[in-house]
């Protein structure tokens, strides 16, 4: 939903520059709902592309983890290939094509 899609408050109209920005978006990952919105200029927040948020996917389904990693890295950048860590048998990081950092974690007993 964009700012244009929201019924406009005539006393506090949104600036024209905001019309195509996202006011509300949502998706579900592994049964967990995530909600997002753009941060338009003038809201008092400083946006820094890419490091403003990191999203983590934890799953005990290794095939699903591999699929997520491959999909997110398409037209993106793998910043940490899958490997074993002290907390996980399989962990990796990728920046998707939109500049968002993702951490993917295989949650099984070591």
Considering its fold, how many domains does the chain have in total? 2
More reliable by pLDDT, 8 or 89: 89
Are residues 54 and 37 part of one domain?
no
pLDDT at position 89 is: 92
Are residues 65 and 24 part of one domain?
no
Q: Which domain holds residue 97?
A: 50-110
SS3 (DSSP) at 25: strand
Are residues 99 and 57 part of one domain?
yes
pLDDT digits (tens, 9 = 90+) for 75-104: 999 999 999 998 899 999 999 998 888 999
Whether pLDDT at 110 is above 70: no
Mean pLDDT lowest among 21-25, 53-57, 78-82: 53-57
Return the H-helix or E-strand segment holding 68: helix 62-73
Are residues 58 and 90 part of one domain?
yes
* Statement: the pTM of the whole predicted model exceeds 0.85: no
- CA-CA distance, 5 to 25, in Å (whole number)? 12
pLDDT at position 7 is: 67
HSE at residue 14, side-chain half, CA atoms within 13 A, is: 19
- CA-CA distance, 71 to 104, in Å (whole number)? 12
């Amino acid at each position: 939903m964009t700012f244009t899609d929201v019924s406009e408050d005539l006393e506090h109209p949104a600036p024209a520059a905001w019309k195509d920005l996202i006011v509300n978006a949502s998706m579900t990952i592994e049964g967990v709902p995530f909600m997002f919105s753009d941060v338009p200029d003038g809201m008092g927040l400083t946006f820094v592309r890419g490091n403003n948020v990191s999203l983590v996917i934890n799953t005990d389904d290794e095939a699903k983890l591999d699929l997520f990693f491959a999909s997110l890295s398409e037209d993106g950048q793998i910043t940490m290939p899958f490997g074993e860590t002290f907390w996980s048998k399989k962990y990796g990081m990728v920046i998707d094509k939109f500049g968002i950092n993702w951490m993917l974690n295989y949650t099984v007993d070591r």
